[in-house]
Amino acid sequence: MFYTVGEMAKILNTTPSTLRYYDKEGLLPFVERSESGIRMFKDSDYEWLLVIDCLKNTGMGIKDIKKFIHMVLEGDATIKERLEMMKKQRESVKEQMAKLQQTLDTLDYKVWYYSTAEKAGTTSVPRNMPEEEVPENLRAARRRLKIIHAKADDLN
């Protein structure tokens, strides 16, 4: 079965212009065209497009995604390079996740901080609260913020 750009975009929850852009950038060498030049996506193209979307979501650039696709098309001779590429991208994602976790921890602390301040009617209560009274899961974020504030004070 074949799908148009619009149909495949709908299946992937993306836009037709995104798929056209991928094609223009050389990411879709596997996509067939009709006699009139219309892109015709097959069921098997779906997996390719999911991998492209996955790599894009990791922050991999179009140039590297294109390189990866062409390595796949070259066959088994590029397995080692593809493996290294995936390992590198995996490490990048793990680093991004660690940063996002730190961001979430800070936001959790700030939600607690302002909830506590709202109940007390002042920010001085959570700001001056002894560390042992701060929920344990929020203490690391609080310490990190205090270090940042101390460094900022040193600059002034």
- 49 closest CA partner among 35, 74, 69, 78: 69
- 109 closest CA partner among 76, 132, 143: 143
pLDDT at 90: 98
pLDDT at 147: 80
The CATH classification of domain 2-74, taken from the options 1.10.1660.10, 3.30.70.1110, 1.10.150.120, 3.40.50.2000? 1.10.1660.10
pLDDT at 156: 53
Helix (H), strand (E), coil (C) string for 27-39: CCCCCEECCCCCE
**Residue 138 CB neighbours (<10 A):** 19
Q: Which are the contacts of 60, defined by CB distance < 8 A and separation ≥ 6?
A: 68, 89
pLDDT < 70 positions in the chain = 149-156
Which amino acid appears at position 75 of this protein?
G
- Show the DSSP H helices in 25-123 as ranges: 43-57, 62-74, 79-120
pLDDT at 149: 64
pLDDT at 142: 94
